[in-house]
Amino acid sequence: MRVACFNPYLLALLPATLLAAGCGGSFTLAPRSVSGHSSASASADAIVLTAQVVGSTSHQAISASQPIALQTTSALQWSVPDAVTGDVRWSVTGGDPHSGAGSITSAGLYTPPAWLTQDEATVTVHARIADSSTDAATALLRITPGFIRPVAPENLALGAGASASFSASIAEVGGSASVHFALPAAGSGSLSVSDCTRSSLTSDNPAYTVCSVTYTAPAAIPATQSVILRATVISPASSALNSSAIAPVFSSAQLLLNSQGVTSNPATHQQALTLPVQLGSSAGSNSDYDSAHGQLTDCCGGTLGALLADASGNLYALSANHILARSDQAIPGETIIQPGLIDNACIPYGEGTGTAPIASLAPYPLLSSPATRVDAALARVSPATVDPTGAILELGPRQPDGTLAPAPPGVSSTSGRGEAAHLGMAVAKSGRTTGLTCGSITALHTEVLVDYYRDCAETQHAFRKRFTDQIVVSGPSFSDAGDSGALIVDSSNAEPLGLFFAGGVDERGIDHAIANPTSDLLADLGRSLASGATPTPLHFVGTQDHPVACLHYPSLQPAPLPLTSAARAAAAHALELARQWATRNGPVPEPMLAPSADQLAPDGTALPAILFGRSLPPSAPRFFAGIPTQVHDTASGAPDPAVLARVLRVRDRRSASLFALSPAIFGLGVGLSADNPADPALILFVDRNQPTPTLPASIDGERLRIIRMERPHVTRGRGQAAVHGCRPVLPAQFSGASTAPTLAVRPLPRP
């Protein structure tokens, strides 16, 4: 339980195991022996420790036979050979002279120190068997700094000749590590600097290394294009390390260069706005922070999504429950602020300047209740604090300076009740982190499991909730952590469709956002406000329907995986059947084998499909000997409602058995096949960081499309490891300062 639920200024302590450097413990392995000898008595030379990078999509173990390079923002899960018997006690020694060696759990999970005061810290991992007084094995780690804040903003739209600033910071306080900024090629714009070092920081300013660069777009942009600005952590120590097992630390921002001269910068959504504030901006609970030893360590924030009203004219700001109500931990009446704490150095209102109270939390639907279908909450708006028209940042037309004007959502077609979503619908959202972005609806009637945490740093798992009938929106750079609470609208008329609350990115770099439909939103929120049995009628505040100036960031999909010779051999019979069918039913293009766009093998290799190249007649088989057909140039329209209903019945019938196949499966919906977009399919969402089970190409005759992505939860975006801790408070002999530096917290957004 979070203490802030009772008193937002009574600070709780984090568990000691998360705070003590070098902490350890023991666990028991199954008894085994090697060559008749107990492995507990094996020498250190006989045991080689192995590790996995936590969160990596690669399941290849890293051997500790040589020193391992690791960044401060990574973590390693250690293990000993299966033959080892008895208890294993883990510990770590060495490390940075001021931030320590990091910590290791009883299960062998090692977390480095959150920051360094030098370019490299050497840490030794010790594995001790049973009650032995000597190590059975050791591993040497060389820790170098990683990003404590990646490149921000992470996406940006610019016209010809326009400029914008980007920043990044790394977890080093002292030393000479730097950030190297680079563009992909000549003609893609220019940078004010290429490298940022600590040369401008004095010894009495022990802050994280913060680097900024100004990007200027080319003078002429003939057509819309994407440019990737890449930042890499460069440490003098890195060149001497054996880092082949771990990729270099880098972060990137995607720039959308457009000939229309549109400028869209998500940074404007994160600023403190003049009252009354527009929606689509940063906001959150004034109590949404973590603490340790009497200091704030992390804080959260999200998006102020839309304005709602009841029949009496009372106005309410809408966002996600986990943004306004802190995942059921808040008490109605708590203060809601703009911007959120994440955008004000985690300084709460009343403890410093920078934020403004704009609303007070209203009664909300409890996530913990099985009857609740949404992750949403309302806050009663204080007078003159929120734009009464419901204007949302960048939802309006282009202005003379290239920026997009604020505008309310469209409500004239539905009297403020919102539209129903359909597959393929083009949609837009305006959020705190990625600003205005557009995508399309790719799945409906989606059942999904979402994880919730009690703290911003995600160390205290609260519960896992099953949502039903959710909307899935997909698109490159569509959403990220901090966008939770953003309103999703129909881009053709700005009518509300749903509320974004969770999501992740798949192996092809496509974002998949999960949203509560507006019908469930208004119903559940109305029940939470009701004084009796009758729900309070609510509607969205807005204006006449109007189009949204959509920003579509290009897809940066990697090249498709080639088919292996084994996959081709396994599909040879199916290909022959397809050729025979084509001969009998011509004219039909000659079929050939191609990688399936719907499925991958459990080991990540491509599975085959039978490519026909263009549309097939309705009578064409969808599978040959279990291998799906593939069509490249199908113009997909709205699928037949009767066919969708048929697929939905299969989903209902097979849902329980599919979820039971593997803990990696977390979602199931109805959408369209990627092999043949004219064909509906079951959409199965699988955790990309867990082994994928073997799955069929079809279920009860319906196509099965697999999307391997990050498991959705609501306090971390893009799988980046959380860095716990605030601005380092260093001893006076290091900093040269007579007093400890002021608190500056590394914020962590809620999506």
Q: What is the pLDDT of residue 525?
A: 98
Q: What is the pLDDT of residue 470?
A: 98
Name the DSSP class of 595.
E
Lowest mean pLDDT among 17-21, 161-165, 413-417, 434-438: 17-21
Range among 83-97, 215-229, 545-559 rated most confident: 215-229
Lowest mean pLDDT among 409-413, 419-423, 507-511, 632-636: 632-636
Range among 48-62, 417-431, 548-562 rated most confident: 417-431
131, 151: one domain: no
Q: What is the pLDDT of residue 267?
A: 93
9, 135: one domain: yes
pLDDT in tens, 520-576: 999 999 999 998 788 999 999 999 999 999 988 887 666 678 899 999 999 999 999
Q: Is residue 722 part of a domain?
A: no
Q: What is the pLDDT of residue 636?
A: 57
Q: For residue 642, what are its two tokens?
A: 């009767």
Q: Is residue 420 part of a domain?
A: no
Share of the chain above pLDDT 70, in %: 84
Q: Is residue 348 part of a domain?
A: no
pLDDT in tens, 240-252: 544 444 556 788 9
11, 125: one domain: yes
Rounded to whole angstroms, the Cα distance separating 550 from 548 reads: 5
Lowest mean pLDDT among 158-172, 183-197, 686-700, 702-716: 702-716
Q: Is residue 576 part of a domain?
A: yes
The more confident residue out of 234 and 4 is 234
Q: What is the CATH number of the domain that holds 250?
A: 2.60.40.10
Q: What is the pLDDT of residue 637?
A: 61
Q: Which residues contact 122 (CB under 8 A, 6 or more apart)?
A: 94, 95, 140, 141, 142, 143
Q: What is the pLDDT of residue 635?
A: 58
Q: What is the CATH number of the domain that holds 26?
A: 2.60.40
pLDDT of 335 above 70: yes
The CA dihedral of 430, 431, 435, 440, to the nearest 10 degrees, is: -60
Share of the chain above pLDDT 90, in %: 53
Q: Which amino acid, 513? A: A
Domain-ending residue, one of 144, 166, 186: 144
243, 200: one domain: yes
pLDDT of 620 above 80: yes
Q: Is residue 557 part of a domain?
A: no
Q: Which residues contact 239 (CB under 8 A, 6 or more apart)?
A: none
The more confident residue out of 330 and 11 is 330
How sure is the predictor about 178, in pLDDT bands with cuts at 50, 70 and 90? confident
The more confident residue out of 555 and 739 is 555
Q: Over the chain, what is the mean pLDDT? A: 83
Q: Is residue 90 part of a domain?
A: yes
56, 163: one domain: no
How sure is the predictor about 64, in pLDDT bands with cuts at 50, 70 and 90? confident
Sign of torsion over alpha carbons 293, 323, 716, 109:
positive
pLDDT in tens, 289-312: 988 777 787 889 999 999 999 999
Q: What is the pLDDT of residue 632?
A: 76
H-helix or E-strand spanning residue 596: strand 592-600
How sure is the predictor about 137, in pLDDT bands with cuts at 50, 70 and 90? confident
Average pLDDT over residues 143-163: 90
The more confident residue out of 714 and 721 is 714
91, 221: one domain: no
Q: Is residue 607 part of a domain?
A: yes
Q: Is residue 600 part of a domain?
A: yes
58, 90: one domain: yes
Average pLDDT over residues 151-177: 89
116, 13: one domain: yes
Q: For residue 624, what are its two tokens?
A: 């040959």
pLDDT in tens, 624-677: 999 999 987 655 566 788 888 999 999 999 999 999 999 999 999 999 999 988
> Terminal CA-to-CA distance of the chain, rounded, Å?
22
Domain-ending residue, one of 144, 175, 200: 144
62, 173: one domain: no
Number of domains in the chain: 3
The more confident residue out of 504 and 174 is 504
Pairing relation of β-strands 50-53 and 62-63?
antiparallel
Q: What is the pLDDT of residue 633?
A: 64
Q: What is the pLDDT of residue 14?
A: 25
pLDDT in tens, 457-473: 777 889 999 999 999 99
Range of the domain at 183: 147-263
158, 139: one domain: no
Domain-ending residue, one of 102, 125, 144: 144
Across 130-262, where does the E strand assignment appear? 137-144, 147-152, 155-158, 163-170, 178-182, 190-191, 195-196, 209-216, 225-234, 250-257
Q: What is the pLDDT of residue 662?
A: 93
The more confident residue out of 273 and 168 is 273
Q: Tell me the longest C-alpha to C-alpha distance in the chain.
A: 89
123, 210: one domain: no
Rounded to whole angstroms, the Cα distance separating 625 from 608 reads: 12
Residue whose C-alpha is closest to residue 9's, from 280, 286, 232: 286
The more confident residue out of 212 and 206 is 212
115, 183: one domain: no
Q: What is the pLDDT of residue 710?
A: 87
How sure is the predictor about 163, in pLDDT bands with cuts at 50, 70 and 90? very high
Average pLDDT over residues 366-376: 96
